[in-house]
Structure 1
Amino acid sequence: MRSVFLTATAVGLLTSLAACGTTADTPKPAATGSPGTATGGMPQAGSIAWGACTDIVQPDGEAPATPNSALQCAKLAVPLDYAAPEGESLDLALIRVPATGPGKRLGSLVFNFGGPGASGVDTMAQAAKAFESLNTRWDLVSFDPRGVERSAGVRCGNGADMDTFTSMNTQPVNPETRAKMAAANKQFTELCARDSGRVLPYVGTVNAAQDMDRLRTALGDAKLNYFGMSYGTQLGGVYATKFPKNVGRMVLDAPLDPSVTLEQRTVVQTAGFQKAYQSFLKDCVKQVCELGPDVAAADRNVGKLMNDLTAKPLKVGQRDLTQGLASTAVAAALYSDLTWPLLETALAQGMAGNGESLLYLADSYTGRKPNGTYTTAMTSFPAITCVDTAERPDAAELLRTEEKALKISPLFGGPGAGSLCGVWPAPGSDEARHVDATGSAPIVVVAGKGDPATPYQWGPKLTAQLKTATLVTYEGEGHGAYLSGSRCVQGVVNSYLNDGRVPQKGASCPAA
């Protein structure tokens, strides 16, 4: 899910990872050194010049005083346009955590943490410890995909512009709100075209999949071993479709169904977040809940807070907590049940006139840093999403989608669903919406029953489309199963990645 001014409901980052740190402000490569390939040429095996990581961003938005010696960074040149591979290139920023041993090294395990728009460089730097059971025999590798952060990251105006866009209210739902949303979308796309027009046509998932095959070659691996989360499952599926014979061991956690329309995605995800919100309220009132004595009362109090913020934002220092930002904060905290206590406290504080915690949650989601600048999370997301679909919905289609979403959830439904792609300044293609990995090695898909952002039904659908995949069902809450705390899920995935044991058909794991 991303800010409603962009798409109302769309796939977002794993909150558990976002809490560890987001992306960097500078679009420069992470470290100097040979790019590993001449412009347009294929990289040579093992040709990446790894060096120190100098610009990793910490959870507080600040770069570390001294580099982490366990991390290695580099860059890899790839064609800007694969239709003209000898032409202009762009540099992909890479990061590696070398295998720690003991045991025979298995090769490189490449990660994409979702979004689209998550910085693999910063996320891997902050989250590598979560994968230490894999790091003994695998080099953990990630990258900023094209259009993200250091890899020609898409920019659309400055921090003040982004503050305006991310703080927009979605209530009340009326012609005036819709008109404001339309005007904001027009201004946003004009800024994107002005600041990043060179790369906008080339940031889609199909090109990113081709980049990953270049990365595989440069790493010296005969096969791509891959761990994709959320949007990373679509990237993995597209890779397996284009390069089935190059697939090694591939895990797709929190899967997308790439075939869904913008309308279908909005409706399903709105329902997913509403379900997670109701689960949060039910969990809250099991004991003493600061929001109300029962689910109905707590829901009314949250609704009242949103209405109050629509009429008058809360001052937080020099900033305003708007209804739009508060709704974003709620969505951010629903990605994992580990953040439900924080959400309860933040909402209760908001009801008491203190919006600081809600603003913190919203900022962690939108990628706003303490200095007022933003990561590319909110700008890379629509750039990649809109290039990955040929859909350009008209006003009637948008209104129909809005009405369906609002019937499901007044909190998470609202105007603007899909509207940004309708005015996006680069053309889109449906190639990334069709996957078929026939001929690949076995792929493992892990889907959670309580996942709000990538609802469970997308797991069986992606599994069927890939044709070479096995589905593992996780019965618990949260976006992403591997990092949920489930030892069962980690055991199944680790056994497959480390030892090649493919899960049995119908495999499942209980809630953590």
Structure 2
Amino acid sequence: MPSPSLLRATAVTVSALLLASLLAGCSDDTAEDEDLARQQLDWKDCPAPSRAQGGGTPPSPLPNGEEWQCATLKVPRDWDDPEGDTIGLALIRARASGGEDRRIGSLIFNFGGPGGSGVTTLPAFGNDYAHLRTRYDLVSFDPRGVGRSAPVLCEDDQQLDAFFQQDATPDDAAERTELLENVRDFNEACEKNSAKMLPHVLTTDAARDMDLMRQVLGDDELHYFGISYGTELGGVYAHLFPRNVGRAVFDAVVDPTQTPEQGSLGQARGFQRALGNFAENCVSKAEDCPIGDSAQDVEDRIAQLLRDLDSRPIDGIFPRELTQTAATSGIAQALYSQEFWDYLTEGLDQAYDGDGQVLMLLSDTMTGRRTNGEYSNLTAANVAISCADDRPRYDAAHVERRLPEFRRASPLFGEYLAWGMVGCVDWPVPGAAEHPDVSAPGAPPILVVGNTGDPATPYEGARKMARALGQGVGVELTYEGQGHGAYDSKNKCVQDAVNGYLLDGKVPAAGTVCR
């Protein structure tokens, strides 16, 4: 069962925040450990991704033939003890292509999760940011607990296969007991395998890492592009270091004012809305929609499929079967991008004929499973960061009381997201806060981009983030589109606004709408 955070801010997968002792006061100070601030990074050609990063081959050369470069940044494991033990953060960069005289500095990316590897994601989408590379070194990293950066490890591949096959929407007491036992087993495995890191993977820790990164990269200000959960990380950074913020863009924006429960409920509405948009799109095409005669028929048939899978799974990717839970996560994954809608149509059409392979491939993408059966540490890191950040601990009784409202919000995804809230049951580290503090008085303008059709970080969160950052800081831009995020939609209006700000410092008018 994917964590609700994998969906809520990717969560994929998304979530909340701050260590109370750090909220007492903001700080614009340089790194507490001057030796770490003076370290020199040893940039080299990048190795193949580690298993925790998702495996695979080294990144392909850039269009001009240059190689991506990787390095390791030393940071304190415990920021309350900056002279104690250190851990290494994996970094990747592509040098600015437009010449040193035009170079602004480094542009640091976080692509979300929490738990996503920036070291593998940036080169995968590097061409999308080629224009920004004309004036910036493009830089990303594996946050602490992720990928090559002291990864949190929990269950093994075989255990994870079983974990993601379980019934995540229990219908009776026996299924509820089994779900809770599986969650406890997973969380106990995290404690057994990663006890030293679990107290030190908060978003506030990652924000302090980024300020040290800024210094070591030689930048007076942090220029930043945060996507999904990366907007939350960026907001926390702006709160802690408002006068160190440079040009920053938040895209696919997490609502920082919500508790985890409110976030899950909002996302239930967001995914249901996206499903409706998908259904309308399918039946509006000139050719017949193979999965329904009307938008309502499409939704009804999907709901019936999921009910059938609850008791009778179908063949998936051998030897696994497509269960109700796997199908639900696969459908959710496909709603992240309109580019995936044709795959969703194909997967549903095949599933109605008893073939669950496509939906299972989509589900595997959500959970970080490769075709060879190996998992990245996406889920482990996601749960660890979310449970360290989020103070609430929701038990089964609380979920059952809330189920009616979740079902009203989304007949398809409501129960799935509601039961996902039990993911921090018996977590060994207390959660930090109800929600993050992103207020950033004194920071320069931050461009906040919301997508009206975003399922994972619903559009309403962009306005909440802009207001929470503070007057004169958050500048809201609306994209009337589909999918998770706006810049990667290739919409010219959005890209011109973002590029104009990051490259030339031109702040678009607040309330700008792109269509």
TM over 0.5: yes
Q: State the distance in 1 between where 2:421 and 2:388 align.
A: 13
Q: Which residue of 1 aligns with 2:391?
A: 390
Per-residue CA deviations over 1:359-410 (Å, capped at 9, x if unaligned) read 1111111100122111111111111111112112344322233332122223
Aligned partner letter, 1:294: S
Match in the other structure for 1:483: 488
Of 429, 432, 436 in structure 2, the residue corresponding to residue 429 of structure 1 is 432
Q: Secondary structure at the match of 2:91?
A: strand
Q: Deviations over 1:186-218 (max 9, x none)?
A: 111000101111100110100000000000001
CA 57–81 in structure 1, closer or farther in 2 if over 3 Å, else same: closer
Residue identity matched to 1:56: P
Compared with structure 1, are the counterparts of its residues 232 and 446 closer, same or farther at alpha carbon in structure 2 (3 Å cutoff)? Answer: same
Query: Deviation at 1:114?
Result: 0.5
Q: For the Cα contact (< 8 Å) 2:11–2:456, is it kept in 1?
A: no
Instruction: Give the equivalent residue in structure 2 for 1:320.
Output: 321
How far residue 45 of structure 1 moved from its aligned partner, in angstroms, is 5.4
Contact 1:39 1:87 in 2 (8 A): no
* Corresponding residue for residue 86 of structure 1: 83
Q: Compared with structure 1, are the counterparts of its residues 9 and 367 closer, same or farther at alpha carbon in structure 2 (3 Å cutoff)?
A: closer
Alignment check: 8 A CA contact 2:257 2:464 kept? no
Instruction: Verify: 1:459 aligned to 2:462, yes or no.
Output: yes
Pick aligned residue for 1:447 from 435, 440, 450: 450
Q: Find out whether 1:108 has 2:106 as its counterpart.
A: yes
- Equivalence map 1:191-202=2 (5 Å): 191-202=189-200
Offset, 1:227: 0.2
Match of 1:277 among 275, 279, 284: 275
Quickly say closer, same or farther: Cα 1:6–1:469, change in 2 above 3 A: closer
Q: 1:402 to 1:8 in 2, by over 3 A?
A: farther
Equivalent-residue separation in structure 1 for 2:431 and 2:308 (angstroms): 39
Per the alignment, residue 92 of structure 2 pairs with 95
Is this contact kept in 1: 2:5–2:382, CA < 8 A? no
User: 1:161 deviation in Å?
Assistant: 1.0
**1:307-347 C-alpha deviation (Å, 9 max, x unpaired):** 22222222232221111111000000001111111100111
Distance apart, 1:302 and its partner CA:
1.4
Return the alpha-carbon distance in structure 2 between the equivalents of residues 216 and 44 of structure 1.
9
Letter aligned with residue 80 of structure 2: A
2:308 maps to which residue?
308
Q: For residues 230 and 44 of structure 2, what CA distance do their matches in structure 1 show?
A: 26
Q: State the 1:173 CA deviation.
A: 3.1
Residue 7 of structure 1 and its aligned partner are, at CA, apart by 6.2
Shift of 1:182: 0.8
- Whole-Å separation in 1 of the counterparts to 2:396 and 2:305: 30
Name the counterpart of 2:476.
471
- Looking at structure 2, the residues matched to 339 and 13 of structure 1 have their Cα atoms a distance apart, in angstroms, of 17
Deviation at 1:61?
A: 6.0
Pick the aligned partner of 2:497 from 463, 483, 492: 492
Partner of 1:359: 360
Q: 1:126 to 1:4 in 2, by over 3 A?
A: closer
Inter-CA distance 460–331: structure 2 relative to 1 (3 Å threshold) = same
- Aligned-pair identity in percent equals 42
- Counterpart in the other structure of 1:291: 291
Aligned to 1:470, what secondary structure does the other structure show?
A: strand
Question: 2:59 and 2:217 mapped to 1: Cα distance?
Answer: 26
Which residue of the partner structure matches residue 29 of structure 1?
none
Please name the residue that 1:30 is paired with: none
Q: Contact 1:472–1:508 at 8 Å: present in 2 too?
A: yes
Task: State the 1:299 CA deviation.
Answer: 2.0
Q: Find the aligned partners of 1:154 and 1:308 in 2 and give their Cα distance.
A: 36
Per-residue CA distance 1:450-483 (angstroms, 9 max, x = gap): 1111111111111011011110011111110000
Q: Which residue of 2 aligns with 1:142?
A: 140
- Whichever residue aligns with residue 321 of structure 1, its letter is L
Q: Return the alpha-carbon distance in structure 1 between the equivalents of residues 47 and 232 of structure 2.
A: 30
Report the Cα distance in structure 1 between the residues aligned to 2:175 and 2:7, rounded to whole angstroms.
17
AA partner of residue 503 (structure 1): P
Distance 1:14 1:178 in 2: 24
Q: How does 1:46-445 map to 2 (within 5 A)?
A: 47-56=40-49, 63-64=56-57, 68=61, 69-101=66-98, 104-171=102-169, 173-287=171-285, 288-315=288-315, 316-414=317-415, 416-430=419-433, 433-445=436-448
Could you say what secondary structure the match of 1:472 adopts? strand
Q: Which moved more, 1:184-193 or 1:385-394?
A: 385-394
Identify which range, 114-123 or 289-298, moves more after superposition: 289-298
- Secondary structure at the aligned position of 1:433 is classed as coil
Compare 241-250 and 386-395 and name the one that shifted more.
Answer: 386-395
Mark the CA change 1:182 to 1:8 in structure 2 (over 3 Å): closer, same or farther.
farther
Unaligned runs of 5+ in 2: 14-30
Q: Give the C-alpha shift of residue 148 in structure 1.
A: 0.6
Residue identity in the other structure for 2:186: F
User: Is the CA contact 1:148–1:380 (under 8 Å) kept in the aligned structure 2?
Assistant: yes
Q: Secondary structure at the match of 1:122?
A: helix
Partner Cα separation in structure 2 for residue 56 and residue 324 of structure 1:
29
- Tell me the secondary structure at the aligned position of residue 76 of structure 1: strand
- The 2-side partners of 1:5 and 1:127 are apart by 25
The 3-state SS of whatever aligns with 1:269 is helix
Q: How many Å apart are 1:65 and its aligned residue?
A: 6.7
CA-to-partner distance for each residue in 1:267-298, whole Å, 9 max, x for gaps? 11000000000111111111311111112222
Give, as a single letter, the amino acid of the residue that structure 1 aligns with 2:242.
P
SS of the residue aligned with 1:417?
A: helix
Task: Give the counterpart letter for 1:284 in structure 2.
Answer: C
Mapped to 1, the partners of 2:141 and 2:361 lie a distance apart of 26
Please give the TM-score of this superposition, normalised by the length of structure 2: 0.90
Distance across 2 between alignment mates of 1:418 and 1:377? 18
CA distance in 2, matches of 1:136, 1:188: 45
Matches of 1:7 and 1:117, distance apart in 2: 10
Please tell me whether the aligned partners of residues 45 and 219 of structure 1 are also in contact (alpha carbons under 8 angstroms).
no
CA contact (8 A) 1:11 1:454 kept: yes
SS at match of 2:391: coil
Instruction: Give the TM-score normalised by structure 1.
Output: 0.90
- Contact conserved, 1:5 with 1:416, CA < 8 A, in 2? no
SS of the aligned residue for 2:370 comes to: coil
SS in 2 for 1:234: helix
- Which residue identity does 2:293 align to in structure 1? P
| SS of residue matched to 1:249 | strand
Q: Which amino acid aligns with 2:105?
A: G
Letter in 1 for 2:448: V
| Cα distance change, pair 130–506 in 1 and its aligned pair in 2 (3 A) | same
Whole-angstrom CA distance in 1 between matches of 2:183 and 2:203: 23
The answer to whether the 8 A contact 1:40-1:87 is kept is no
